[in-house]
Amino acid sequence: MEVYRNIKNYRLLSVLLLSTLVACGPREMTKPDVQTPRLCLEGKLKEGTHLVRAEKVKIKESLPLTGKIEPDPDRVIHFTSLVSGVVTKTYFSLGEQVIAGQLLMDIVSPELSALQADKKRLESEIRVAKRQLEAKKSMFEDRLASESDFMEAESLQLSLEAELEKVNANLSLYRASPERSVFQVFAPSAGVVTAKNITAGMQIVADDTPLFTLADLDAVWAMVNIYAGNLSQIHIGMPAAVSSLSYPDDIFSGQIDHLSEIFQNQEKVLKGRVVLDNQNHRLKPGMVVDVTVANERDETAISIPSNALVFDNSTYYAVTYKDDCDLRVKNIQLLLMNEGIAYVKSGLEEGEQVVAANQLLIYEQLKNQLNH
C-alpha cells in the first residue's frame, strides 16, 4: 500500500513537471540587448562637450604625390654674350634678387675698340657724304649733274647712316663705357639669379652658352611625379595642395593644369604641372614638395570628423547623443579616413548627433560602468 502511494506521488510530480516544461517550451530563447549604462551630462563635463551631426556626403579620397618646384620657363631669361672678351668684374651672386637696369658685369672685349673705331670712321664718312650730297644737289638743280649722280650720293649717305645706327645699337646693347673701355651688362628685367656660369677673369665667346639666368619667381611650377598606377586617378582640373618641410603649417593651393603625354625614362613617372602664386618667393626652384590631390568619387557615405572617433582595442567607436541622459557607444566600421573626415561604412545613421569633444572621457566612464 505504501509502495502504491509513492508511485502515485511520483506520477503526479512527473505530470506537474511536464506541464511546466510544456508551458515554457513554445517560447523562443532570445539574447538580451547589451545594456548601455546610464550617464548624464552635467557640470563641466557638459560644458566641454561639443556635438556634430553625421552627414551623407560624396567621398573624397586624397592621393599623396611628390614634386619639385621649378621656375616658369616663360619667365626665365638665359643671357648669352654677343661679343667675345674677358669678364673683368661681376656685381651679382647666385640666388640674388636683382632689379631691372641693375649693373651685372663688365666685359673687356677687342670688339669694343673695333666698334668704337667703326663709329668714328662712319661719323667722319657721313660728314663727307653729306657735303657731297649737298654739292650734287646744287649741281643737279643747275643741270650740271645728272639725276642718277644725285641719287647715288643720297644712297651713299643713307647706307653710311644705317651702318652707324647698327654700330650704335651694338654699343647701346652692352652700354659700352668708352671711359673704362668695357662693355657693361645690365639686367634686362627684375628677377632672381638662378644660374651663374661666370667669374671675374673668365674668357667668354660669342655663342649660345648661357652666362647667367634670371627668373621671375612671382609664379612657379610644382612639377608632380605621377606613377603609372596613379594615372587613372589624375585628371586636369583636380585641386592640389602643396606643402613643404620648410613651411609645415602652410598649404599652397593650385590645381593640375597640364599632364605630359610621355613618361620620363629615368624616373619612370609622368609629369603633372601645378601653377602656384609665389609673390613672397618662399617657394624656391629645386625645392622638393609634397602634393596632395583630391579625387571625388561618385559614391556617398555617412561622414563625421575623424577626431570624433575613439580608438580602443583595435576598434573605432563613437559616442552618440540623444539627450543629456541618453548617450550610447557605437561600434564604427570605416570605409576610409581622409583629410580629417571619417567615412562610415556602418554604425551610424544620417542625422545622428555624435560627441566630438570630451568623447574619450565619456566613453571611459560608460565603459567602466558597463564593466562593473
CB 302 within 8 A of CB 350: yes
Supply the pLDDT for residue 199.
92
Rounded to a whole number of angstroms, the distance between the first and last alpha carbons of the chain is: 58
Supply the pLDDT for residue 299.
86
302: nearest Cα among 353, 370, 250, 237: 353
224: nearest Cα among 256, 196, 178, 188: 256
How far apart CA 163 and CA 119 sit, in angstroms, is: 9
Supply the pLDDT for residue 259.
94
95: nearest Cα among 261, 285, 268: 285
Indicate the Cα dihedral angle 267, 268, 273, 274, nearest 10°.
Answer: -70
CB 350 within 8 A of CB 55: yes
Strand partners, 65: 291
Supply the pLDDT for residue 26.
42
Supply the pLDDT for residue 59.
87
Read off the pTM. Answer: 0.57
CA 277 to the chain's CA centroid:
9
For 296-351, the pLDDT digits (tens) are 777 899 999 999 999 998 999 999 999 988 899 999 999 888 888 999 999 999 99
- Count the neighbouring beta carbons within 10 Å of the beta carbon of residue 67: 23
CA 199 to the chain's CA centroid:
35
CB 327 within 8 A of CB 45: no
Strand partners, 105: 90, 185
CB 46 within 8 A of CB 321: no
- Count the neighbouring beta carbons within 10 Å of the beta carbon of residue 360: 15
Per-residue pLDDT of the chain (372 residues; tens, 9 = 90+): 444 444 444 444 443 333 443 344 444 333 333 445 678 888 888 888 899 999 999 888 888 899 999 999 999 999 888 778 899 999 999 989 999 989 899 888 877 777 778 888 898 999 998 888 888 888 878 788 788 888 888 888 899 999 888 877 766 666 666 666 788 888 888 899 999 999 999 998 888 889 999 999 999 999 999 998 888 888 899 999 999 999 988 999 999 999 998 888 887 899 999 999 999 999 999 999 999 998 777 789 999 999 999 999 899 999 999 998 889 999 999 988 888 899 999 999 999 999 999 889 889 888 887 776
How far apart CA 279 and CA 287 sit, in angstroms, is: 16
Supply the pLDDT for residue 27.
41
| Element at 1 (helix H, strand E) | none
